[in-house]
Homo-oligomer: A and B are copies of this chain.
Amino acid sequence: MNEKLIFTNLVGDAVDTLVAEAGAPRTFVLVDVNTAQYVLPVLTAQSKAVADATVITVKSGDINKNLDSLQTIWRSLHDAGATRSDIIICVGGGVVTDIGGFAAVTFKRGMRVINVPTTLLGAVDASVGGKTGINFNGCKNELGAFSEPLAAVISTGFFNTLPQQELLSGYAEMLKHALLESPEELAALMRYSVVYPIFDADRLLDLLRRSVATKQRIVEADFADRGTRRALNLGHTVGHAFEALAMKRHSPIPHGYAVAWGCVVALILSHLRLGFPSDTLHTFASYVHTNYGAFAFTCDDYPELIEYMRQDKKNDSPDRIAFTLLSAVGQPQINTVVEKSDIESAFDIYRDMTHS
């Protein structure tokens, strides 16, 4: 992995150093309408590279992570005469880094990218690992490419103003990484409160550094996502099904909440199939219940949830449901094929644990 990860709350200095080292003739900054308003003025004051850059703005939200926004970026780069030697600094959450990364890797076969994630979810997940993309024809991330950014500047200073729900959503991915790493990391995260009364930015930066290191280790071993990288899918097979059902009910849920709940179901399945220890399962489930509440569903929803899982693009064949499970904290078992009856039992246990 060649991506440089810089953990600092002096973001402007870090960006200027990176741009100077890269020797780029010109710099572009990609923002969405939110980061244009709240973050860009701060960065412009802190960084010469940002102040001198050509700014490209796209609409915010996952609904705008589409071909229209991508064409807006391509056209802006074209009109400004951008070259392969230039740099794009993507300032925003996962939508901005995903679409900006995709625009960059496809413009003249590859401009260089610096990511400045402004959300916890972006910091822990979207800006590291080289996955870029857009939604297409109603499917999430249907188009995209693998491409590593030159660097990501990861900070916690922009998180002060984030809604509590968004912080918790990002924290769920950190919990997932800790489950894949070790009991010590999991305990450290469960001791820390990301929302109450106010988070400790320096301590969070340290936890983030360790969490991102887990992701990096896994991505490094399997950049093109053909094998062991699927460990990062922990909690996502069930989580995506919860999201899809919630979307159909017209009451969407935050991605991170779905992941947290999905991790609980994955640990239940891990207990049933691989002997994952029940005390750890209960401690984790209780932490998630306290902080994230629970997903409400009945046994009438099981067939639909299972159908969503079948369609999950991570499955090579539509006829098997492969999960990432854990034999213990830090011991992922990818491609564990699970029977429908086990999934139904896990749903029963989840609903029993959460009284839903």
A157 at the interface (CB under 8 A from B): no
Assess whether B78 is in contact with A142, with CB atoms less than 8 Å apart: yes
Residues 82 to 97 of chain A near chain B (Cβ within 8 Å): 83-85
On whether the beta carbons of B317 and A109 are closer than 8 Å, the reply is no
**Measured CA separation A67–B68 after assembly (Å):** 12
Q: How far is the CA of A340 from the CA of B255 in the complex (A)?
A: 58
For A230-261 the 0/1 string (1 means CB < 8 A from B) is 00000000000000000000000000000000
Residues of B within 8 A of A71 (CB): 67
Q: Hey, which chain B residues are within 8 Å of A141, CB to CB? A: 108-109
A78 and B109 contact, Cβ closer than 8 Å, known pairs A316-B85, A317-B25: no
Q: 7 tightest CB-CB pairs across the interface, nearest first?
A: A109-B144, A78-B137, A106-B143, A85-B316, A106-B145, A109-B146, A105-B145
B-contact 0/1 string along A120-146, CB 8 Å cutoff: 000000000001110011010111111
CA distance A142 to B84 in the complex (A): 10
Least Cβ–Cβ distance between A130 and chain B, in angstroms: 9
Q: How many residues of A contact B (CB 8 A)?
A: 34
The answer to whether A144 and B316 touch across the interface, beta carbons within 8 angstroms, is: no
Majority SS at the chain A contact face: mixed
Task: For the complex, give the distance between the alpha carbons of A144 and B136 in Å.
Answer: 18
Q: Offer 20 A-B interface pairs, CB within 8 angstroms, sorted by A.
A: A25-B316, A25-B317, A67-B71, A74-B136, A74-B137, A78-B139, A83-B316, A105-B145, A106-B143, A106-B145, A108-B141, A108-B142, A108-B143, A108-B144, A108-B313, A109-B144, A109-B146, A109-B225, A145-B145, A145-B147
Is A4's CB within 8 Å of the partner chain B? Answer: no
Cβ of A111 to closest chain B Cβ, rounded Å: 11
Instruction: Give bound CA distance, A129 to B141, whole Å.
Output: 27
Known: A108-B142, A108-B143; 6 extra A-B contacts, CB below 8 A, are A67-B71, A74-B143, A78-B137, A78-B142, A108-B144, A109-B145
Closest Cβ of chain B to A82, distance in Å, is 10
How many angstroms between the C-alpha atoms of A146 and B85 in the bound complex?
15
For the complex, what is the distance from the CA of A119 to the CA of B67, rounded to whole Å? Answer: 32
A210-224 interface (Cβ within 8 A of B):
224
Oligomer: number of copies: 2
Tell yes or no: A107 within 8 A of B by CB: yes
Interface flags, A141-158, vs B, CB<8A=1, else 0? 111111100000000000
Closest residue of chain B to A75 (Cβ to Cβ) is: B137
A110 within 8 A of B: yes
Find A109's partner among B25, B67, B131 (CB 8 Å cutoff).
B131
How distant is A225 from chain B, measured CB to nearest CB, in Å? 7
CB-CB under 8 A from A106, the residues of chain B are: 102, 106, 143-145
A132 proximity list for chain B (CB < 8 A): 109
- Residue in contact with A110 in the complex, picked from B67, B85, B146, B316, CB distance below 8 Å: B146
Contacts of A110 in B (CB 8 A): 145-146, 224
Task: Provide the bound-state CA to CA distance between A102 and B316, in Å.
Answer: 22
* Nearest B residue (CB) for A226: B84
Q: How close is A144's CB to chain B, nearest CB, in angstroms? A: 5
CB of A347, distance to nearest CB on chain B (Å): 26
Query: Of residues 155 to 170 in A, which have CB atoms within 8 Å of B's CB atoms?
Result: none
Complex: chain B residue closest to A131, CB-CB: B109
Contacts of A109 in B (CB 8 A): 131-133, 141, 144-146, 225
